[in-house]
C-alpha cells in the first residue's frame, strides 16, 4: 500500500517536504488512481543545437494527477553538464495559484545555489484553498530556462530526480491530508538537436551564421572530400545540387556540388536549389 500519513497545513509540512528521509521515495500507485499513475514530469521542450548555434534550452515541469486533489508537493532534480546554467523559471498560473502559501523553485530557493550545486527544487503548499484539481491531462507547473557556455554535437544533458542533502522526498499531499510518492521518470538523457540546418537556399556548406554562400563553402566541401574528411555541419547545405533530396547522406556530396556552387558564384549566377 502507499504510505499515507495525516499532516497539518503548517510549517511542519514544509519540514516534511524538505526531509532527506527516503521512506516515502518508493513509488506505489495510489489507490485512488483511475488507471494511469500520478506522475511528475521534468521534460525538455527545446535543446541546444550545434548546427544552428543555439545555446539555450527550456524544460517544462508538469504534473499528472487524475483522481487526487493536490495541495502540496516537493521534488528535487540534479543535472549533469558543466556548461549548463539555469537562467530563470516562470511559474505557470496554475502553479502560482495552487502553491501560494510558499513556493520554492530553486535549490535553497536561490538560483546561485541551484547553479553551484546543479540542483533544482520545486516545493510548495497551498494556503487559500485553491487546489490542483484532478485532470486527465498534464498540468504545467513551471518552465525552466537554461543557457550553455558551449555546446557541440557530442554533448548531452543528464537530468535525474534525486533525494539530496537539503533536498526533498518526492511526494504529493492531498486535500484529504494524506501524502504519497508519485511516479517519477527514470534518468533522462537529452542530446544535441540538429534542427533544420538548411535555410532558404542550399550551398552554405560551412554553416556561415549569415547564410552567405562563398568560396569558403567550396573549400569546406573540398576538405571533406579530399583532405581531412571533417564531418560537414549540414549535409543539406553541402548537397548544393540537391541530389540527395530532403535527407542527403555523405555519399550524396560530390564534385557536382562544388560545380554547382562555382557556377552560382562565378559563371552563370544560376540560383542554387532551395532547402525545401
30-57, pLDDT tens digit by residue?
A: 677 766 788 888 888 888 888 677 889 9
Block residue for cell numbers 506505489: 28
Measured between its terminal Cα atoms, the distance across the chain in Å is 56
205 and 175 in one domain? no
Query: Is the pLDDT score of 16 beyond 70?
Result: no
User: What does the alpha-carbon distance between residue 227 and residue 243 come to, in Å, rounded to a whole number?
Assistant: 22
The closest alpha carbon to 167, from 24, 4, 10, belongs to 24
Q: Among the three residues 158, 191, 224, which one is the final residue of a domain in this structure?
A: 191
In tens, the pLDDT along 52-84 reads 778 899 999 999 988 889 999 988 889 999 999
> Are residues 147 and 246 both part of a single domain?
no
CA atoms of 258 and 55, how far apart (whole Å): 31
**What's the rounded mean pLDDT across residues 136-154?**
92
Rounded CA separation 253/207 (Å): 15
pLDDT single digits (tens) 105-120: 999 899 999 999 999 9
CA distance 255 to 275: 19
Q: Residue 112's domain is classified under what CATH number? A: 2.60.40.680
- For residue 136, the model assigns a pLDDT of 87
Q: How far apart are CA 94 and CA 158, in angstroms?
A: 27
CATH of the domain at 269: 1.10.1330
Q: How many residues does the chain have?
A: 276
Instruction: Convert the pLDDT of each residue in 194-253 to its tens digit.
Output: 677 888 899 999 988 888 999 999 999 999 999 988 888 888 999 999 999 988 888 899
Q: What is the pTM of this model?
A: 0.66
202 and 173 within one domain: no
What integer pLDDT is reported at residue 230 of this predicted model?
Answer: 83
Q: What tens digit of pLDDT does each residue of 155-206 get?
A: 899 998 877 654 456 788 888 878 888 877 656 778 877 677 888 899 999 9
Instruction: Classify residue 232 as exposed, middle or buried by CB count within 10 Å of its CB (0-12, 13-18, 19+).
Output: buried
The DSSP bridge partners found for residue 159 are: 79, 188
Instruction: Locate 273 and state its grid cell.
Output: 536549389
86 and 202 belong to one structural domain? no
Q: Which domain holds residue 275?
A: 196-276
State the pLDDT at residue 168: 59
Same domain, 87 and 41: yes
Quickly list DSSP for 66-125: SSSPEEEEEEEEEEE-TTEEEEEEEE-HHHHHHS-SEEE-SGGG-HHHHHHHTEEEEEEE
Tell which of 149, 168, 191 closes a domain. 191
Instruction: Tell me: do 125 and 249 sit in the same domain.
Output: no
> How many domains does the chain fold into?
2
**Boundary-marking domain end, from 174, 191, 208:** 191
- Whole-number Å distance between alpha carbons of 34 and 31: 9
Does a structural domain hold residue 5?
no
User: Once rounded to an integer, what is the mean pLDDT over residues 22-28?
Assistant: 51
Amino acid at each position: 500500500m502507499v504510505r499515507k500519513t495525516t499532516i497539518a497545513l503548517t510549517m511542519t509540512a514544509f519540514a516534511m517536504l524538505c526531509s532527506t528521509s527516503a521512506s516515502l521515495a518508493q513509488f506505489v500507485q495510489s489507490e485512488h488512481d483511475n488507471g494511469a499513475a500520478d506522475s511528475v514530469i521534468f521534460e525538455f521542450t527545446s535543446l541546444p543545437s550545434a548546427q544552428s548555434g543555439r545555446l539555450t534550452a527550456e524544460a517544462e515541469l508538469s504534473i499528472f494527477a487524475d483522481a487526487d486533489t493536490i495541495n502540496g508537493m516537493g521534488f528535487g532534480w540534479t543535472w549533469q553538464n558543466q556548461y549548463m546554467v539555469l537562467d530563470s523559471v516562470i511559474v505557470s498560473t496554475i502553479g502560482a495559484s495552487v502553491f501560494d502559501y510558499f513556493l520554492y523553485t530553486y535549490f535553497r530557493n536561490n538560483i546561485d545555489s541551484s547553479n553551484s550545486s546543479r540542483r533544482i527544487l520545486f516545493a510548495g503548499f497551498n494556503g487559500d484553498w485553491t487546489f490542483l484539481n484532478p485532470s486527465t491531462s498534464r498540468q504545467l507547473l513551471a518552465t525552466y530556462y537554461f543557457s550553455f557556455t558551449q555546446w557541440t554535437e557530442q554533448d548531452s544533458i543528464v537530468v535525474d530526480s534525486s533525494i539530496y542533502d537539503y533536498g526533498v522526498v518526492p511526494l504529493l499531499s492531498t486535500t484529504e491530508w494524506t501524502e504519497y510518492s508519485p511516479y517519477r521518470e527514470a534518468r533522462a538523457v537529452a542530446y544535441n538537436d540538429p534542427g533544420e540546418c538548411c535555410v532558404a537556399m542550399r550551398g552554405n556548406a560551412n554553416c556561415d551564421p549569415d547564410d552567405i554562400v562563398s568560396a569558403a563553402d567550396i573549400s569546406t566541401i573540398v576538405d571533406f572530400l579530399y583532405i581531412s574528411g571533417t564531418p560537414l555541419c549540414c549535409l543539406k547545405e553541402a548537397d548544393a545540387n540537391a541530389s540527395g533530396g530532403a535527407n542527403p547522406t555523405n555519399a550524396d556530396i560530390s564534385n557536382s556540388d562544388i560545380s554547382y556552387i562555382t557556377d552560382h558564384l562565378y559563371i552563370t549566377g544560376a540560383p542554387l536549389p532551395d532547402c525545401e
